[in-house]
Structure 1
Amino acid sequence: MPQYTNERRNVRTLCNMVGRMASALLVLGLCLSFTHAAHILAVFSYSFPAPFLLVTPYMKALVQNGHQVTIVSSFNHLTDIEGARHIRVQLLDQLMHDLLNYDFISNYPLSKWAQSTIISQFFRNSSYYILSDPQVQGLLRDPNVHFDMIILQASHTDALYGLAQHFKASLVGLSAYGTAWNIDYLAGNKAPSVYEPMQPEGYSNGISLVDRFINWVYITEEWLMDRMIFLPKQLDLYKHYFNRTAESLYEIRRNFSLMLINHHFSLGRARSNVPNVIEIAGMHMSEPIEDLEPALQRFMDEAVDGVIYFSMGLEIVDKWLPPHVLTILQEAFEQLPWRVIWKSDLETLPNKSDRIYLSHMLAQRKLLSHSNLKLFITHGGILSIIEAAFNGVPMICLPMYYDQFGNAERMKQAGVAQVLSMATMTLESTTQIIKEVIENPKYAKNAEQMAMRLRDQPMSPLETAVWWTEYVIRHKGAPHMRLSEQDMSFMQYYSLDIASMLFGRIGLAIIIVTCVGIKLLRLLKKPFVLRIYHVP
């Protein structure tokens, strides 16, 4: 009996020791975790719901990893994230209301300069509403407030870059709409992709010398719009709220530590990214998929011939579409054998048949994953493109503005989509293209291959985004990731230095030879004339 008691005592002592060691390891782990925890200020001036599909899982993951996150956003589009501090700027929601009331139909199509004027004022107001918000001003005026990192919407929000200077924090950009030359510029890429404009409509996809020259003029025009329309409005706000010079803003514009772009090379084109540009397309796919309502689920399941899904995204409302587009689509759908799910803000359509299911809000990812879905007719927004590509669904794109034209063209070049123009579409062309994409097996095959490539990644896009964000935190802004000014200039990347040297020398040689030749001809002519003159 005493031996048995001693054994129990020894076991109890051993268990206590193991428990204390486990507790010590847990405390040590927590200490290490908090050592790397950062104070992050995330500022999102988006007034549309779509970008917050990316923002939400990204912010949740940072909070779950122990970071202290303060989020500045609109009221309506970002739900509360447990563990994060929210600063709601109600006036940002007014921006969307004003845009919805704009008469796009009467002014369609808008020129690039007209679009830039409208959009620049939109971004100017969003930056102003944030910087003038009392809670944001409270952060700026409190000497005890400190942030290690500022995460914000990258493009056309230059006045907000001053937050990074004010708090002496690293600056991270999130480009929800993919990328373009201006994003490359901010990321420090000395060789921006000159064939990726901000507004791809009218941009040439050719590679001839004439096409390249036209595109160079196109990009130059966009650069002028950025400098003459977008930047001045932001610069005025920056000077007012941060009391700094223009040169100071130009400096921070080229000082992003990290640029997260909603793109992936499997979506039609690889890019020459510098190290601090990270592709995170599909980051929102980590969120749970919503179920379909029972009536819609039955509508999909019972579709023997298959289903066409038509949606112009979360932001485009039907009143923005030219009336003939809605008429053509409805007539085409009525003629075709497939069922149609139509996302619309309208309550009903005139003479709508039972083969058309109308709804103002749909679980898009669930629809795209259904085996009976044959075709996705989309505006070409990047999130819709990613979701369709992820599920291997062929597409028809109806682009309307900005990045949608470029997205649509890439899908067409990849063989997974066709493109319809709102200006030239007819009932016959629309019906023919729908039949072509559904009945020609090459589109489904190419879409399936794209899905396999997009899914085949070492980490999920969300894990990639979080890992690189924390990498920047661990390495105090990671300045070593940026391309050095001396490493690769625009002239060097495009071999313009060699070309200028080569053609300069050739040109100089031609000039010298020409001058010498002319001089020799004159010398030869001169004696000849003299000989004629002296002939007896």
Structure 2
Amino acid sequence: MTRGPGIAGLLLPALLCGLLCPQLARTENILAIFSYTFGSSYLLITPYLKSIVQRGHQLTLISATTEMPEIEGVHHIRVAKLDMLMKILLEFDYDIEQSKWMEAQFVSDYFYNCSRFVLEDPGVKALLRNTSAQYSMIILEASHTDALYGFSQVFNAPLVGIAAYGSAWNIDFLVGNSAPSVYEPMSALGYSPGLSLLEKWHNLIFITEERLVERFIYLPRQIDLYKQNFPNAPVSLHDLRRRFSLILINQHFSMGRVRSNVPNLVEVAGMHLHEPPEPLGAELKQFLDEAEHGVIYFSMGLQMLDKWLPPKMLATMLAAFKQLKQRVVWKSNDPTMANKSTNVYARGLLPQRAILKHPNVKLFITHAGLLSTIESTHYAVPLLCLPIFFDQFQNSDRMEKIGVARSLDITGLMPEMVVEAIEDLTQKPSYKQRALELSARFHDQPMTPIETALWWTEYVLRHKGADHMRIAEQEMSLVQYYNVDVVSVLFGRIGLSAMIVIFLGWKLVSLATRNLEYRFNVPMVR
């Protein structure tokens, strides 16, 4: 008869686990606040939040009503007003020719309302008044949610940020990166690759303008919200913005974005890939399986509306697809138009990751959003990029430099241009080979992205905010941070020495001139 392990046999593994895995032995109360109103960002954070709960931590979540899915074991406060912002966003008539200042005003209004609606919600107000509520960490979107940083003051808890769109100069500022890149403005309006000296100056001027926009258009309204809702906070918002214990950024150096990061800025690109992909439906699977010449997948993103695209662009794409021997799977807001072609399968919603994973998919035509770019890297699929706004231009530029993509300007598309690009990308083996190499180095990490995110999150918990990770310059004034005092003394001495030398030289010349006048009794021409 087979005997069971007995009590001692069961206790020993548990004891060893407790000794070797101390991070599992202690659970904490964590508050997460996400005022996103669009679904793609929730795709990123949902696996992360689920994993936090699975680690045994108690999670309170503040988010929009419809976009954020239910997570078992989470105390959820849903802010209904955030859904209004989604409607406003979808009704917005985006113009690719609009100025930076027009875009800045819209962005300022949008994020002001994101923060305001969260702070005005009755459930959130009740939480802030609850004197018994205690949290060991506040997790939120790092960028453009400044007024919400005040939760860390109420609960005396460290701040952990998520940078869903990767890093730029504003994220560098929050963690104290001392060498922010001149290649990465927040907005793509006016963006240039920054290869030549002239382009570098162009980007530097552009980012300086963005700093002025943040300082005089965006930030004052967030400061007003902060003061109204956290009147007893001992720290000003300006100081609080530089006190992040950790920021998890949705990027990875293997994808051509190498940066000199401080310790509390951690790369976790691909964190959302922890969730299993949605399966293919039977009809779509058959369409992919039977594609003799391969499949091209075309999607301009989860929230992209046809009205934001240039006129006739979709008709141009359809005319190009009709000339192809490959089959096309198209995520379209108007599937009836796309399905007029016999080689096109169009739907309003499609399981993107399952499609990209299919061996018959040869090319991904995309807006070059960050999640789409990461997924194409994960599954080693070459790209035809059609960027429209924000980070998409930088993403497509990086993929093109790596050799896995080509980019086209959506404002001047012609069917023959699209066909030529598709044929080049599908017929030249170098694109697929580079995609495989890129995917291999992206996967070659000591831990998965979600494991990395969880490890550093719990590191901050274990070390009570992990202040030792933060760069010391964060506690300095701007004069100290930029060494203005040292530079002033240095250049002051040099300048004083130069003035003395110039003065003495002038005196010597004047004296020599007088001597000549006196000796020859001839006035010198001055």
What whole-Å deviation, never above 9, does each CA across 1:351-407 have from its counterpart, x for those lacking one? 831111111111111111111111111111110000001111110111111111111
Equivalence for 2:312: 324
Per-residue deviation, residues 92-144 of structure 1 (Å, max 9, x unmatched): 1111111111122xx43221111111111111111111111111111100111
- For residues 15 and 449 of structure 1, the distance between their equivalents in structure 2, rounded to whole angstroms, comes to 47
Of residues 110-119 and 162-171 in structure 1, the stretch that sits farther from structure 2 once superposed is: 110-119
Q: Equivalent of 2:129, from 120, 134, 141?
A: 141
Deviation at 1:263?
0.4
1:338–1:498: structure 2 CA closer, same or farther, 3 Å change rule?
A: farther
Tell me the distance in 1 between the aligned counterparts of 2:28 and 2:233: 29
The residue correspondences of 1:233-272 to structure 2 (distance < 5 A) are 233-244=221-232, 248-272=236-260
Aligned equivalents of 2:513, 2:199: Cα separation in 1: 47
Give, in angstroms, the shift of residue 214 of structure 1.
2.2
Correspondence 1:344 to 2:332:
yes
SS at match of 1:190: coil
**Equivalent residue of 2:244, what SS?**
coil
Pairwise CA RMSD = 3.1
Q: 2:84 matched to 1:94?
A: yes
CA distance in 2, matches of 1:114, 1:246: 35
**Structure 1 residue 466 corresponds to structure 2 residue 454:** yes
The verdict on how the C-alpha distance between 1:187 and 1:28 changes in structure 2, with shifts beyond 3 A counting, is: closer
109-118 or 14-23: bigger deviation: 14-23
The one of 284, 299, 302 equivalent to 1:311 is: 299
Task: Tell me, in whole angstroms, the C-alpha distance in 1 between the residues paired with 2:339 and 2:452.
Answer: 49
Residue 190 of structure 1 deviates from its aligned partner by 2.9
Tell me what 1:124 maps to. 112
Counterpart contact for 1:188–1:255, Cα < 8 Å:
no
The one-letter amino acid paired with 2:306 is D
TM-score, normalised via structure 2 length: 0.91
- Mapped partners of 1:74, 1:21: distance in 2: 44
Q: TM-score, normalised by structure 1?
A: 0.90
**What is the CA distance between 1:491 and its match in structure 2?**
9.3
Aligned AA for 2:8?
A: V
Select which of 419, 424, 437 maps to 2:412.
Answer: 424
The answer as to whether partners of 1:239 and 1:246 remain within 8 angstroms in 2 is: no
Q: Aligned in 2, Cα 1:487/1:32: closer, same or farther, shift over 3 Å?
A: closer
When structure 1 is superposed on structure 2, of 320-329 and 274-283 the one drifting more is 320-329
Alignment of 1:415 onto 2:411: no
- Cα distance between partner residues in 2 of 1:27 and 1:401: 48
Q: 2:203 aligns with which of 202, 215, 218?
A: 215
Structure 1: how far apart are the matches of 2:104 and 2:390? 10
Shift of 1:432: 2.2
Moved more, 435-444 or 79-88: 435-444
The aligned residue for residue 302 of structure 1 is: 290
Gapped runs of 5+ residues in structure 1? 1-7
Question: For residue 386 of structure 2, what is the aligned residue in structure 1?
Answer: 398
Calculate percent identity across the aligned residue pairs: 50
Q: Give the letter for the 2:342 counterpart.
A: D
Indicate which of 269, 275, 283 corresponds to 2:263: 275
The residue that corresponds to 1:5 in the other structure is: none
Determine if contact 2:396/2:407 at 8 Å carries over to the other structure: yes
The amino acid across from 1:469 in the alignment is T
The DSSP-based 3-state class of the residue aligned with 2:225 is helix
> What is the CA-CA distance between 1:51 and the residue it aligns to?
1.0
Partner of 1:185: 173
- Does residue 18 (structure 1) correspond to residue 12 (structure 2)? The answer is no
- CA, structure 1 residues 48+534, in 2 after alignment: closer, same or farther (shift >3 Å)? closer
Contact 1:311 / 1:378 at 8 angstroms: preserved in 2? Answer: yes
Whole-angstrom distance in 2 between the partners of 1:115 and 1:395? 28
**Equivalent of 2:75 in 79, 85, 98:** 85
1:370 to 317, 339, 358: 358
CA distance in 1, matches of 2:197, 2:303: 38
1:63 aligns with 2:53: yes
Instruction: Label 1:211 to 1:507 Cα distance change in 2 as closer, same or farther (>3 A).
Output: farther
- Could you tell me how far 1:506 is from its partner in structure 2? 6.5
**Structure 2 match to 1:173:** 161
* CA 1:413–1:349: 2 relative to 1, 3 Å: same
**Residues 34 and 350 of structure 1, relative CA distance in 2, 3 Å threshold:** closer
Q: Which residue of the partner structure matches residue 373 of structure 2?
A: 385
Residue of structure 1 in register with 2:31 after alignment: 41
- Deviation of 1:265 after TM superposition, in Å, equals 0.4
Change (3 A) 1:250 1:518: same
The SS at the match of 1:72 is strand
Contact residue 191 and residue 490 of structure 1 kept, 8 A: no
Q: Hey, what's the Cα distance between the residues in 2 that align with 1:369 and 1:462?
A: 20
Structure 2 spans left out of the alignment, 5+ residues: none
- Render the CA deviation track for 1:213-237: whole Å, top value 9, x for unaligned: 2222111111111111111111111
Change in Cα spacing, 1:448 to 1:398, as seen in structure 2 (3 Å) is: same
Query: Which shifted more, 375-384 or 415-424?
Result: 415-424
Cross-structure match for 1:477: 465
Residue number in structure 2 paired with 1:232: 220
Contact 2:53 2:73 in 1 (8 A): yes
| 1:156-171 alignment, distance < 5 Å | 156-171=144-159
Q: What is the CA-CA distance between 1:492 and the residue it aligns to?
A: 9.9
1:448-497 residue CA offsets vs partner (Å, 9 max, x unmatched): 11100111111110011011100100000000000102899999999999
